[in-house]
Amino acid sequence: MEGFRKSIRDSRGFTLLEILIVVFILTLLAAIIAPRLVGRTDDARIAEAKVQIRNFETALKLFKLDNGFYPSTEQGLQALVSPPTTGRQPRKFREGGYLEHGKVPLDPWGNPYLYVSPGLHGDYDIISYGADGKEGGEGADADITSWNIE
């Protein structure tokens, strides 16, 4: 009978005080960690935009190697996915295109990249306007450009 009573006492569960202490500790941890994660999200998106721009640059160089010219502004980055139907026509367009997944990705904030060729800073300019989707800005809102990537 003594063993039976002991097993009943052991299976009572948590007291209200124990639950409140656990909730307090979890809230404290969330308050400390959450701000760090929020800042990291912006950093990760900026890094992703830089990687995508580098991928565009590689694809553009391959397009030029095959065809002898870069796509025009009018043809845009879409010319890396499917042969352009306007302007100068590529003679040796690579089967499957020059970008993975057969589509031009949006920037990490869901906006299209701006492509200009010939560019003001080289053969072409590629720009993401950052988190706010507008020219200029600071921090996460700052423009990410092909000519100014570290």
- The domain ranges of the chain are 47-145
The pLDDT, as a whole number, for residue 134 is 93
The pLDDT, as a whole number, for residue 79 is 97
| Alpha-carbon gap, residue 123 to 64, rounded angstroms | 11
Under 8 Å CB-to-CB from 116, ≥6 apart: which residues? Answer: 73, 124, 125, 127
Could you give the percent of the chain with pLDDT greater than 90?
Answer: 65
Give, as one character, the DSSP assignment of residue 101. G
The pLDDT, as a whole number, for residue 39 is 63
Task: Answer yes or no: pTM beyond 0.85.
Answer: no
Contact 46, 145 (CB under 8 A): no
The pLDDT, as a whole number, for residue 57 is 95
Q: 47-145 architecture in CATH?
A: 2-Layer Sandwich (3.30)
Whose CA is closest to 49, among 103, 117, 109, 98? Answer: 109
Which regions in the chain score pLDDT beneath 50? none
| Alpha-carbon gap, residue 126 to 146, rounded angstroms | 5
